[in-house]
Structure 1
């Protein structure tokens, strides 16, 4: 069982996944900071100073020791904005990586075509030399 666990733990996919999770966590913190510290203050300024996080609808007010029951839709709006920005950022990053891969494949294909043409030319020259003998 220990041997199987070692094989599993050192597989490339597991290590790649671990690295992805760590980088994703750090990326999430960056995006959350961007939303909370840059985007939402601008949106708040455009909407007259509204802070979405604290928007709520009171279903039942507080009475005595019983706290108020509220529907915190502002926090939901904040989380939706976070999600949209994170997903768009990831989309743009993946799109960039795919573009780089496509360009690399096109470059490799051109190099392969050049090599094939050189081989054909070389073979034609050899054929011509053999005909002339």
Structure 2
């Protein structure tokens, strides 16, 4: 019976923990790329289409406090912006996974038999052909 510490050590050493860490790091970097894509590339043209309205500032004011310049409001604009972010992220991930799966299917295709001949075997084949040519030339001179 293994101890808890031994089980954790096996889990960490066998790569499961390392695979998770790599996935999280790549996911975080990908998240930064997509956030920049959304905020700097996609949202500015959408703002032009909507006459310069910034969705993050859109809200429905329920009540304003008189003396403190505070208001109680529902910020639906941020929700719209987050939903657009989500749709773009989901679409981007879908396209990337589809692209990866295309290559994965191609590599697993049993009809795809294009395998590059290793260099040493190719050289041996060339030497064999040269030797055959040499033998025919030598036989023809006799």
In the superposition, the TM-score normalised over structure 1's length comes to 0.76
Q: Does 1:77 align with 2:77?
A: no
Matched, 1:20 2:26: no
Structure 2: gaps (5+ residues): 114-142
Structure 1 unaligned segments of length 5 or more: list them: 112-133
SS state at 2:67 partner: coil
State the superposition RMSD in angstroms. 1.5
Q: In structure 2, do the counterparts of structure 1 residues 110 and 100 end up closer, same or farther at CA, with 3 Å as the change threshold?
A: closer
- Choose 1 or 2 for highest CA Rg: 2
Q: Whole-Å Cα distance in 1 between the matches of residues 16 and 92 of structure 2?
A: 23
Q: How far has the Cα of 1:64 moved from its partner?
A: 1.9
Aligned length: 110
CA distance in 1, matches of 2:111, 2:83: 43
Give the SS at the match of 2:26.
helix
Contact 2:106 2:112 in 1 (8 A): no
Going by fraction, where is helix more abundant, 1 or 2? 1
